[in-house]
């Protein structure tokens, strides 16, 4: 098995390594790509990320579902029970999914259409303009922690565009921002998830995510509205806190969604991200399936360090009673 991941590992290592070491190599391609998306009214729309995320999720989940239904031998639960005749877990019907899609999209659209987008590297005047303010008269803070409402008028009843940075990031910035945002998200979600299990009120919200038979890729998005919103806002926070470029955000979505679906896949796969990373780094589908089955440990979504630290502490000072 080690040899089967050698090639993808090598490819990933070379791509990331060269993107960090030789940004000038990638700059022409990045300039072209960024000029292309900047010219697109779809990319400039305030609702872009919401729909981009839905499309990416639909594609990735479908691929995982196809693999899941056709490969019972990969399924962790089947493997464990050593019974491949076990009935397939029930997949949700398409009509159910429409409602699921709506409850995901609605609150985010509300934010998209009323709040001014404040991304790293964007001149504050451009933000003000996008929000229907006169940039010479208004004093507005460009920090994402200072939210600003759109200035609603008859001519401009909604926030429809987002102000974008004039230049692309370097490939080095792109890689560092992607890596940092994932690591930050992994940490903040660990604590959020811990609270979801330990605090009685939040526990109720989170129970919807654990209400299933055998875990399968669809469980990724089987979430209470509040938990889903929390998840999205924490991902947004992880990107904002390091001032991520809009292009980083755009690439973050497929990476993040892939990781989320992968840990909920209920399968051990050769190409799972846990096999690509150095041994011992990644929680992967194994730990997360264990969490879904027992709900007693493994709260960290993508990596192992916080959970390992928690176990170490628990061993050192066992809670009494």
Binding site for ligand NAG (CB under 6 A): 108, 111, 115, 117-119, 144, 232-233, 236, 240
Q: How far is the CB of 139 from ligand NAG (least distance, A)?
A: 18
Of 102 and 271, CB closest to ligand NAG: 102
Instruction: Give the C-alpha separation, 74 to 67, whole Å.
Output: 9
Number of H helices, E strands in the chain: 14, 0
Q: How far is the CB of 181 from ligand NAG (least distance, A)?
A: 12
Of 131 and 266, CB closest to ligand NAG: 131
Of 119 and 190, CB closest to ligand NAG: 119
Backbone φ and ψ of 214, nearest 5°: -70, 140
At residue 320, the 3 state secondary structure works out as coil
Closest alpha carbon to 50 in 249, 260, 265:
249
Of 26 and 119, CB closest to ligand NAG: 119
Encoding tokens for residue 203?
């526990």
Q: How far is the CB of 48 from ligand NAG (least distance, A)?
A: 11
At residue 115, the 3 state secondary structure works out as strand
Of 221 and 240, CB closest to ligand NAG: 240
Instruction: Name the residue with tokens 């991304």.
Output: 119
Of 142 and 168, CB closest to ligand NAG: 142
Q: How far is the CB of 38 from ligand NAG (least distance, A)?
A: 18
Q: How far is the CB of 249 from ligand NAG (least distance, A)?
A: 8
Of 68 and 252, CB closest to ligand NAG: 252
Instruction: Give the C-alpha separation, 21 to 49, whole Å.
Output: 30
Q: How far is the CB of 192 from ligand NAG (least distance, A)?
A: 15
Quote the DSSP letter at residue 294: H
Closest alpha carbon to 76 in 302, 290, 307, 296:
290
Please give the full DSSP string across 193-227, using - where no structure is assigned.
HHHHHHSHHHHHHHHGGG--SS--GGGGG---HHH
Closest alpha carbon to 212 in 293, 118, 317, 150:
293
Q: Which residue is nearest to ligand NAG (CB)?
A: 144
Q: How far is the CB of 240 from ligand NAG (least distance, A)?
A: 5
User: Maximum Cα–Cα distance for the chain, whole Å?
Assistant: 70
């Amino acid at each position: 098995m080690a040899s089967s991941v050698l090639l993808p590992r090598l490819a990933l290592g070379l791509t990331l390594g060269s993107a960090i070491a030789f940004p000038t190599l990638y700059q022409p391609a990045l300039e072209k790509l960024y000029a292309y998306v900047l010219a697109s009214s779809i990319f400039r729309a305030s609702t872009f990320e919401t729909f981009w995320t839905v499309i990416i999720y639909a594609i990735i989940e479908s691929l995982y579902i196809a693999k899941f239904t056709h490969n019972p031998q990969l399924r962790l639960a089947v493997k464990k029970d050593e019974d491949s005749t076990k009935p397939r877990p029930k997949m949700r019907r398409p009509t159910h999914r429409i409602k699921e899609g709506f409850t995901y999209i609605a609150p985010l659209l509300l934010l998209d259409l009323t709040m001014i987008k404040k991304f790293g590297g964007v001149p504050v005047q451009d933000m003000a303009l996008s929000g229907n303010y006169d940039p010479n008269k208004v004093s507005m803070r460009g920090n994402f922690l200072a939210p600003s409402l759109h200035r609603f008028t008859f001519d401009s009843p909604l926030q429809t565009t987002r102000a974008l940075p004039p230049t692309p990031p370097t490939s080095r910035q792109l890689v560092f921002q992607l890596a940092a945002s994932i690591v930050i998200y992994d940490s903040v979600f660990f604590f959020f998830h811990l609270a979801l299990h330990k605090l009685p009120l939040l526990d109720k919200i989170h129970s919807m995510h654990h209400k299933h038979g055998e875990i399968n890729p669809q469980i990724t998005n089987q979430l209470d509205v509040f938990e889903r919103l929390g998840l999205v806002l924490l991902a947004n926070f992880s990107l904002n806190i390091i001032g991520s470029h809009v292009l980083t955000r755009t690439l973050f979505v497929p990476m993040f969604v892939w990781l989320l679906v992968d840990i909920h896949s209920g399968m051990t796969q050769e190409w799972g991200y846990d096999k690509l990373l150095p041994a011992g780094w990644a929680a992967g589908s194994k730990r997360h399936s264990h969490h879904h089955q027992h709900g007693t440990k493994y709260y960290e979504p993508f990596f192992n360090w916080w959970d390992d630290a928690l176990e170490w502490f628990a061993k050192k000072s066992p809670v009494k009673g």
